[in-house]
């Protein structure tokens, strides 16, 4: 990749101010396969200055001009989709088909949905004699994670472009190549110089510099709750807006009337998707107390059907987790589950049989989990499911909400009205009833320590705007 050692600033591929390199590790082999440059505060200064200059004109662009630009970005993105998928598969371990259909495809979906949203959206309306205007917030710093690289890049960049913001993106240094390809896409699509800038680096060197920068008007961050707190503290001195999508420990409530075979099987698939590396994964499965053993047997069969292995191999549906750090964390939590007395149904510590290298985790199910256990409370971020029980609806609602997180909840029932009633009681930003299809138009974000602000469609678009009231716009 010709631009791997450069940053994209002010419409040009440039060298870092201070040369410093970092290996990019293939999680399936544990070996470096590429190098990137790591930036610092001086690189952020250059990028923010370019974005600030560009905002003077791009912030006044017309909706029609921005629509044309976004359509051009989408066209180039589609042309380079196979290349994007290959990069994502190698840098974060997603099976190739999943990398193409889901990881890369979700970027297409976000761009297309934001184009549709912008076409219908009105930035101005009269409220009596006052004109209420939504204007671009300005320069936005974007800090994105490794687990869904294009989901988080496009669901931030698309609304920023739609509103007329300019931006500085720091992708994860663990999965940076997809971000570099995205910068090339923006360049090829003709995005004006300075509107989009990319600086690679880690959190302490680049993320903190973006968060603290006085000329950054907003930071949009996706990542762990721990890192989100650091971003918010760094941003506080300049009183900028901070939008955060953070961790989760999502409950999956299986009400007594469900088809248990179907509900458990789909719940296991939802938990294990992307090797369990999704912040909204349904990792806590609640089943009626008298059906625990039946649910455990179904979950064992469902988990055994997952093929773990080389992301490039046909038939693989679980690749490695992303890094040694993640692997070690997951192994520690699996061992903690065993030590605290949970029933190990399938899986457990170590790599799957036949795999002696790569950050591969055995698909793991625990039964007999109690709410006080570590595996029921901490975000594991791996293919590990905890099955808990409840006696009645009131208890399961209380147990599901008994978490510092509030990103997502799942409710399964044959009675839609009952599912809706339980959904209304969930303290989470999203509730999914009966495993629905993903919706690019639904608001996405969390309650409590899962963050603040909302992404996707008009909800994301409005997060990137300021509201101005022009009083006396219409004469009385």
Please list the active-site residues. Answer: 245, 279
DSSP secondary structure letters along 215-231: T--EEEEES-HHHHHHH
User: Which pair of structure tokens corresponds to residue 253?
Assistant: 């409530």
- Residue recorded with tokens 């204007």: 135
Q: What is the CA radius of gyration of the chain?
A: 23
204 DSSP 8-state letter: I
d(CA 24, CA 34) in angstroms, rounded, equals: 5
- Cα distances (Å, whole numbers) of residue 252 to 104, 284, 396: 27, 6, 10
Cα–Cα distance, 449 to 403 (Å, whole number): 9
- Given a contact cutoff of 8 angstroms between Cβ atoms, the answer to whether 266 and 385 are in contact is no
C-beta of residue 303 within 8 angstroms of C-beta of residue 364: yes
The CA-based angle 443-445-447, given to 5 degrees, is: 125
> By three-state DSSP, how is residue 192 classified?
coil
Q: Chain-centre distance of CA 330, in angstroms? A: 19
- CA-to-CA distance for 83 and 410, rounded, in angstroms? 34
CA distance 436 to 325: 33
In angstroms, rounded to a whole number, what is the distance separating the alpha carbons of residues 249 and 251? Answer: 7
b/e string for 446-458 if b means 16 or more Cβ within 10 A? bbbbbbbbbbbbb
- The two three-digit tokens of residue 125, written as one number: 């309306």
CB 44 within 8 A of CB 212: no
**Angle between helical axes of 105-120 and 81-92 (0-180°, round to 10):** 130
Q: Are 157 and 171 in contact (CB under 8 A)?
A: no
Beta bridge partners of 466: 135
């Amino acid at each position: 990749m010709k631009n791997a050692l450069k940053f994209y600033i002010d419409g040009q591929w440039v060298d870092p101010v201070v040369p410093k390199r970092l290996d990019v590790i293939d999680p399936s082999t544990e070996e470096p396969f590429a190098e990137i440059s790591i930036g610092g505060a001086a690189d952020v200064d250059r990028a923010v200055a370019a974005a600030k200059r560009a905002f003077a004109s791009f912030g006044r662009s017309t909706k029609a001009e921005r629509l044309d630009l976004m359509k051009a970005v989408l066209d180039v993105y589609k042309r380079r989709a196979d290349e994007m998928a290959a990069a994502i598969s190698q840098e974060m371990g997603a099976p190739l088909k999943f990398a193409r259909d889901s990881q890369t495809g979700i970027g297409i979906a976000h761009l297309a949905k934001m184009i549709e949203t912008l076409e219908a959206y009105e930035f101005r309306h009269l409220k009596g004699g006052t004109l209420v205007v939504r204007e671009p917030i300005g320069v936005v710093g974007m800090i994105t994670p490794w687990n869904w690289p294009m989901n988080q890049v496009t669901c931030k960049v698309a609304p920023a472009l739609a509103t007329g913001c300019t931006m500085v993106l720091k992708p994860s240094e663990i999965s940076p190549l997809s971000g570099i390809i995205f910068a090339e896409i923006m360049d090829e699509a003709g995005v004006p110089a300075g509107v989009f800038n990319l600086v690679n680096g880690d959190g302490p060197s680049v993320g903190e510099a973006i968060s603290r920068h006085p000329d950054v008007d907003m930071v949009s961050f996706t990542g762990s709750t721990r890192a989100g707190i650091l971003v918010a503290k760094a941003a506080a001195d300049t009183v900028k807006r901070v939008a955060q999508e953070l961790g989760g420990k999502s409950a999956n409530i299986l009400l007594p009337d469900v088809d248990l075979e179907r509900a458990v099987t789909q719940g296991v698939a939802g938990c294990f998707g992307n090797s369990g590396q999704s912040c909204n994964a349904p990792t806590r499965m609640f089943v009626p107390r008298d059906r625990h053993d039946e649910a455990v047997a179904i979950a064992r069969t469902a988990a055994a059907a997952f093929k773990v292995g080389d992301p490039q191999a046909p038939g693989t549906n679980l690749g490695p987790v992303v890094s040694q750090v993640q692997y070690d964390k997951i192994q520690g939590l699996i061992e903690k589950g065993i030590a605290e007395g949970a029933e190990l149904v399938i899986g457990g510590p170590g790599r799957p049989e036949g795999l002696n290298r790569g950050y591969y985790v055995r698909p793991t199910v625990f039964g007999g989990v109690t709410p006080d256990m570590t595996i029921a409370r901490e975000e594991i971020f791996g293919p590990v499911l905890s099955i808990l029980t409840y006696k009645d609806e009131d208890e399961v609602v209380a147990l599901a909400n008994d978490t510092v997180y509030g990103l997502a909840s799942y409710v399964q029932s044959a009675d839609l009205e009952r599912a809706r009633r339980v959904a209304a009681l969930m303290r989470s930003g999203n509730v999914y009833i009966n495993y629905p299809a993903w919706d690019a138009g639904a608001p996405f974000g969390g309650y409590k320590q899962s963050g603040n602000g909302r992404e996707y469609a008009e909800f994301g678009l409005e997060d990137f705007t300021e509201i101005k009231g022009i009083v006396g716009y219409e004469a009385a």
